[in-house]
Structure 1
Amino acid sequence: MDMKLKLVVVGPARCGKTRLSDYLSGYDESPSYDNYSPTAGVRILEFEREVRSKDGRVTRVSAELWDTSGDKKYEDCWPAITHKASGVILAYDPTARTQEKDIELWHKAFVAPLRLSDAQQLLCAHQRDPVGKRSWQPPRALEKLPFVASGLDNEDGAADLRRAFDSFLVGVVRAVADESKADTDAMMQSLA
């Protein structure tokens, strides 16, 4: 089975969305923080992956990963960016004081209107240099979402992120397949 997905990465400015996007898409397996260049609007990365469900079925996924700017001056572009999104990764830096509240606002404005299932969302508390293995918790308003605390500067953080992303992909594939089946069933019912 083949499936096309549109995945959108959102969150406040300077939280590491581009770095996460580069890593998750396979564009750059060890992205650096050394050169910060804010994303202008959106940047689209394409990748392919095989996703294996718990029952062993394999789905070949062709995905677009939309790395969005955290600058609110691009807010008018959001409807086009989110159009037909299959899943959303919400990223924030838990060490930046305001970003925990900001990510709740991003979810409310950007993600909630899409009416995605929890499995089609991944909340990522991403930090540059995880010192002392601090255990981050999701913001209370978003605690139902799948959550990963990550950092790409150590093997454990990268492995945690990869596992969470793989689970996220399984959830997105399942939700999209279920929606497609429901649409097909509804169409067949209307023809009967």
Structure 2
Amino acid sequence: MVARDRNIKIVMLGPAACGKSVLVNLLADQADLARVPYRPTSALRILHCDVPGTVSETSLPRRLAVQLWDVGGKKENQHFWNACLYGADGLILVYDSDRSGQVKELQSLLYYFTQRPQSAILKSLPLSNVLSVVRYKTNSPSQLTTSLLPPEFAGKITEVHHSYEDDAAILKNHFTKFVNDISEIKL
């Protein structure tokens, strides 16, 4: 018997043109859009997928139902990011290391979504529920090992460096672990 949990809401944020939609499609096993020309997400897409897991007390298999919120990264979309994060269980920040300015923008987002004052409506996410995904297009050894996170986040947020073309299976494994870790916190 495979148990199912309630939906786990994961919000994917990042600057425009960093590859969020391609990543969401990859994680949700949608059509391979890695070779499709860039087309910005107009506002929001929500995809559903199941992630394998186990119930830790019994080791029974279960399927974790995940909602992946692919939020457009253009400036005009950023005013509703808070609304998208309402009730989120996890946050994936995506940025492209080959695009100048995106690393600085990611760092600003990290501070905003993890260290802002608490409110009754929108709580800050724990750092364990934030995944940073660095996209690169070439297999440069420095891109695979150099952390782009500010020092106060290093070691507290999982940072995954990947190429869509070369590391799809590794990226899916990181995502599965991330979702399973969040589901354990929620129990």
TM-score range, shorter chain: 0.7 to 0.9
Letter matched to residue 126 of structure 2: S
Question: Percent identical across equivalent pairs?
Answer: 25
What is the Cα deviation at residue 116 of structure 1? Answer: 2.1
Specify the SS of the correspondent of 1:3.
Answer: coil
Which of 118, 123, 130 is the aligned partner of 1:121?
A: 130
The answer to which of 111-120 and 160-169 deviates more is: 111-120
Q: What is the TM-score normalised by the length of structure 1? A: 0.81
Q: Give deviations 1:51-108, integer Å, cap 9, x for gaps.
A: 1366634332211100011112122212221110011111011122211111011222
Cα distance change of structure 1 residues 39 and 112 upon mapping to structure 2, 3 Å threshold: farther
**Counterparts of residues 29-68 of structure 1 (less than 5 Å):** 30-52=32-54, 56-68=59-71
Q: How many residues align structurally? A: 173
Distance (Å, rounded) in 2 between the aligned partners of 1:166 and 1:152: 16
The equivalent of 2:172 in structure 1 is 162
What is the Cα deviation at residue 112 of structure 1? Answer: 4.3
Specify the SS of the correspondent of 1:81.
Answer: helix
Letter matched to residue 8 of structure 1: V
Distance (Å, rounded) in 2 between the aligned partners of 1:14 and 1:111: 23
Q: What is the TM-score normalised by the length of structure 2? A: 0.83
Distance (Å, rounded) in 2 between the aligned partners of 1:98 and 1:53: 42
Q: Give deviations 1:12-33, integer Å, cap 9, x for gaps.
A: 11110001000011113x3224
The answer to which of 77-86 and 9-18 deviates more is: 77-86
The equivalent of 2:139 in structure 1 is 131
Specify the SS of the correspondent of 2:6.
Answer: strand
8 A Cα contact 1:18 1:67, kept in partner: yes
Structure 1, unmatched stretches of 5+, are 178-192
Report the RMSD for the aligned CA atoms in angstroms.
2.0
Letter matched to residue 90 of structure 2: G
Distance (Å, rounded) in 1 between the aligned partners of 2:87 and 2:48: 16
Distance (Å, rounded) in 2 between the aligned partners of 1:27 and 1:169: 18
Q: Does 1:3 align with 2:6?
A: yes
The equivalent of 2:157 in structure 1 is 145
What is the Cα deviation at residue 126 of structure 1? Answer: 1.1
Specify the SS of the correspondent of 2:42.
Answer: coil
8 A Cα contact 2:46 2:68, kept in partner: yes
Specify the SS of the correspondent of 2:7.
Answer: strand
Distance (Å, rounded) in 1 between the aligned partners of 2:45 and 2:113: 17
Specify the SS of the correspondent of 1:106.
Answer: helix
What is the Cα deviation at residue 45 of structure 1? Answer: 0.5
Structure 2, unmatched stretches of 5+, are 117-122
Letter matched to residue 137 of structure 1: S
Distance (Å, rounded) in 2 between the aligned partners of 1:57 and 1:4: 18
8 A Cα contact 1:8 1:68, kept in partner: yes
